[in-house]
C-alpha cells in the first residue's frame, strides 16, 4: 500500500483536490448534509495537507542534494494553490448550475406568483423554527419548478422573494426574485463580487432573478430584515 502511495502520490493529490472542488459544487447544487463535510474536512483534507507537507520536505531536500525536479515541483504547487481557492466560489457555481439545469424563467415566474397569492412574511418550509418561522406552510405547496432546484425554505416579502439555499434566518445565500417592475438591481452589472467578502457573489440569472450571497456584516442580523441595496 505504501509503495503504491509513494509511486502515485501526485495522482493522489490531484484526485483529492478535484474531490474537494466537486464536493463544494455538490453542496451548492443539492445542499449537502453536514455529515458529508465532516468526511471531507476530517479525512480528505488531512490526507491532502499531509501530502503537501511531504512534497515540500521532498522538494527542499532535492534542492540541497541538487536533484531538483521542476515538473514535479510545479505540479504539486499548482495543485496546492488550486486547493486553496475558497470553497464558497465552488458552492456558488453549484447553486447557479442547479437553476440553469432547471428552468430559470419558469422558476422566476412561479416565484412571482407567490407574491400575488400570499401575504408578506409568508414562510414555506417543513419544520417550525423561531418566530417568524414558527408556522410554516409546507413546501409541498410550492411549484415543481422551484423544488427541482433543490432549495431550502422560502420567504415571501412585499416586492421580492427569498428562496434559500442556506441561511434564511441568518446570513442568506440563495435566490432572490423581484416582483415585475421592482428590480432594484436591474441597472447594475450582471456579476458583482460584494465588498468585504471574497466569496459573496451577486449574479443576475435573468431580469428579476438573482443568486445572492449576503455580505457578512449582516451575519448577526437575519438578511431578510435589512433592506436590499
Model confidence over 100-152: pLDDT tens digits?
999 999 999 999 999 999 999 999 999 888 778 888 999 999 999 999 999 99
* 153-181 pLDDT tens trace: 999 999 999 999 998 888 899 999 999 99
Q: How far is CA 89 from CA 28, 75, 107, 199, 210, in A?
A: 9, 22, 23, 6, 16
Nearest by Cα to 146 from 128, 166, 161: 161
**Who's near 219: CB < 8 A, 6+ residues apart?**
170, 171
Q: Which one is predicted more confidently, 17 or 45?
A: 17
Q: Is 154 helix (H, G, I), strand (E, B) or coil?
A: strand
Please write the tens of the pLDDT for every residue from 47-85.
Answer: 888 888 888 888 888 777 777 677 778 888 898 899 899
Cα–Cα distances in Å, from 204 out to 31, 148, 188? 21, 19, 9
Cell reading at 218: 449582516
Burial of 228 (0-12, 13-18, 19+ CB in 10 A): middle
Whole-number Å distance between alpha carbons of 117 and 153: 17
pTM of the model: 0.87
Delimit the domains of the chain by residue range. Answer: 2-85, 92-225
Closest Cα partner for 28 from 88, 84, 82?
88
According to DSSP, the β-strands at 160-166 and 154-156 are: antiparallel
- Contact present, 171 and 162 (Cβ < 8 Å): no
Instruction: Dihedral sign for Cα 197, 221, 224, 123, please.
Output: positive
Which pairs from 128-132 meet CB under 8 Å and 24+ separation?
129/169, 130/169
Cβ count near 170 (within 10 Å) = 15
**Long-range contacts of range 2-10, CB-CB < 8 Å, 24 or more positions apart?**
9/51, 9/54, 9/55, 10/72, 10/75, 10/76, 10/79
Amino acid at each position: 500500500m505504501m509503495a503504491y502511495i509513494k509511486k502515485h502520490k501526485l495522482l493522489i493529490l490531484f484526485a483529492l483536490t478535484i474531490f474537494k472542488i466537486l464536493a463544494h459544487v455538490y453542496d451548492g447544487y443539492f445542499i449537502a448534509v453536514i455529515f458529508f463535510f465532516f468526511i471531507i474536512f476530517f479525512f480528505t483534507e488531512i490526507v491532502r495537507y499531509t501530502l503537501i507537507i511531504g512534497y515540500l520536505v521532498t522538494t527542499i531536500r532535492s534542492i540541497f542534494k541538487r536533484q531538483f525536479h521542476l515538473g514535479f515541483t510545479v505540479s504539486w504547487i499548482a495543485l496546492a494553490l488550486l486547493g486553496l481557492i475558497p470553497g464558497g466560489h465552488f458552492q456558488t457555481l453549484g447553486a447557479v448550475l442547479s437553476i440553469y439545469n432547471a428552468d430559470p424563467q419558469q422558476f422566476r415566474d412561479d416565484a412571482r406568483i407567490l407574491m400575488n397569492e400570499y401575504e408578506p412574511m409568508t414562510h414555506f418550509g417543513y419544520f417550525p423554527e423561531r418566530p417568524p418561522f414558527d408556522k410554516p406552510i409546507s413546501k409541498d405547496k410550492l411549484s415543481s419548478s422551484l423544488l427541482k432546484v433543490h432549495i431550502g425554505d422560502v420567504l415571501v416579502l412585499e416586492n421580492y422573494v427569498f428562496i434559500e439555499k442556506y441561511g434564511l434566518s441568518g446570513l442568506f445565500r440563495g435566490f432572490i426574485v423581484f416582483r415585475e417592475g421592482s428590480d432594484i438591481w436591474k441597472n447594475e452589472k450582471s456579476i458583482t463580487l460584494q465588498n468585504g467578502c471574497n466569496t459573496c457573489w451577486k449574479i443576475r440569472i435573468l431580469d428579476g432573478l438573482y443568486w445572492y450571497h449576503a455580505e457578512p456584516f449582516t451575519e448577526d442580523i437575519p438578511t431578510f430584515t435589512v433592506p436590499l441595496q
